[in-house]
Amino acid sequence: MRLKIVQAGEPVLRQKARALSREEILSAETQALIEHMRDTMRDAPGVGLAAPQVGVAVQLAVIEDRAEYQAKATPAQLAERQREPVDFHAVINPRITSADEAKLEFFEGCLSVEGYSAIVARAQTIRVEFLNERAEAVRVEASGWYARILQHEIDHLNGILYVDRMLARSFSTVPNLERHWKDVAIREVKSRLG
């Protein structure tokens, strides 16, 4: 079942989502929500989807960065972004326990800010503790693109959109990003934008 992805302006996207109990995580309702969110994310397509994006204010996100999503990127772009496939998993009640001070800047989009993108600085490496879809404790050290995805989705669970963190002058429609900035280094984009 595909869920409706709400767009910027919906109040649920600006609320701090509530934590889920172990019993709630294991409930048929939450398990179905995880499945529907997975299908919705894949259908979009996207690499992450947080429950608030489908109108449910709970601390739950799903993540998956499939190899086929990376097919249009050059090997140099994949290396620069430190982007590798990430298997599907749910992230519940996440907490970033450490974040590298080194930041990486790249264009970032969002299924709830459809049709736009902007440069966002994110920690290069983070450590995150969360519960998975079986209510098991997980600790992940993530770097590069996976760290970016985690930070983006955790922001959603705290009522934050990437537009709150973006380099405002880089805000662009996706067609204009493709036309003007697709193969331009971020340093050069920033230089040209002033």
The two tokens of residue 55 are 């109108």
Q: Measured between alpha carbons, how far is residue 179 from residues 137, 140, 166, 183, 193 in Å?
A: 43, 36, 20, 9, 15
Q: Which of 35, 101, 153, 188 is flagged as catalytic?
A: 153
User: Nearest CA to 96 among 53, 47, 130?
Assistant: 130
Distance of alpha carbon 105 from alpha carbon 130, whole angstroms: 25
User: Nearest CA to 148 among 188, 190, 109, 115?
Assistant: 109
User: Nearest CA to 187 among 173, 157, 167, 161?
Assistant: 167
Terminal-residue alpha carbon distance, the chain:
45
Q: Is 188 a catalytic residue?
A: no
* Active-site residue set: 153
